[in-house]
Amino acid sequence: MSVPPYVEGGDGTGRRRPQVDAARLWTGGLATAVVAALVAVVGVVIARGLLDVPVLAPEGEGALGDSTTARLAILAAATALAATGLMHLLLLSTPRPFRFFTWIISLLTLLAPFMADATLATQVATAAIGLVIGMAIGSLVSGAARSAIRLAR
């Protein structure tokens, strides 16, 4: 794993801190939000249309489900933006920000699907959708953050 570029802090302590290009990070976060929303919709379509698992709505609602599919997509997009904010905060304040970010995203991804009361098949399908959304958010926000770290001139 490569070490991100850092600059000497101006506080006289000799600590090194990253310079973050916030515009680049947040543009990547917005793009991640779009991808996360699309992953949610595609996951529901696959679960309902191909696997015939009633995720997020009764079976009679078709492959796209009902308004809960839209809510999941919006929640996935909002989560991507929250993850971007978390990453920004970690980059500015935490040693080894990528390691902490990975742990936080991984644990939240594992926890989320089992908070609802549903059949096992629905929980497994929801967990799979959540896993892919979490992987997309984690990898894309991390990638955006790596490209947003700059050396001061």
pLDDT, one tens digit per residue, over 26-82 is: 999 999 999 999 999 999 888 888 888 877 655 555 555 566 788 889 999 999 999
For the whole model, what pTM was predicted? 0.79
Instruction: Decide if pLDDT at 120 tops 50.
Output: yes
Give the pLDDT confidence score for residue 113 in this predicted structure.
66
Instruction: Provide the number of structural domains found in the chain.
Output: 1
Residue 40 lies inside a defined structural domain of this protein: yes
Token duo for residue 20: 């973050």
Give the pLDDT score at 76: 95
Residue 12 lies inside a defined structural domain of this protein: no
Residue 5 belongs to some domain of the structure: no
User: What is the 3 state secondary structure string of the chain?
Assistant: CCCCCCEECCCCCCCEECEECHHHHHHHHHHHHHHHHHHHHHHHHHHHHHCCCCCCCCHHHCCCCCHHHHHHHHHHHHHHHHHHHHHHHHHHHCCCHHHHHHHHHHHHHHHHHHHCCCCHHHHHHHHHHHHHHHHHHHHHHHHHHHHHEECCC
In a domain, 2, yes or no: no
Average pLDDT, the chain: 82
Residue 102 counted as domain residue: yes
Residue 23 confidence (pLDDT): 94
Percent of the chain residues topping a pLDDT of 90:
48
pLDDT of residue 104: 94
Read off the pLDDT band of 8 (50, 70, 90): very low
Q: Does residue 3 lie in a domain region? A: no
Cα 38 to Cα 3, 30, 105: the distances in Å are 32, 13, 19
For residues 84 and 4, the model is more confident at 84
115 assigned to some structural domain: yes
* 146: Cβ contacts below 8 Å, ≥ 6 apart: 4, 98
Q: Which domain holds residue 41?
A: 18-150
Q: Is residue 8 part of a domain?
A: no
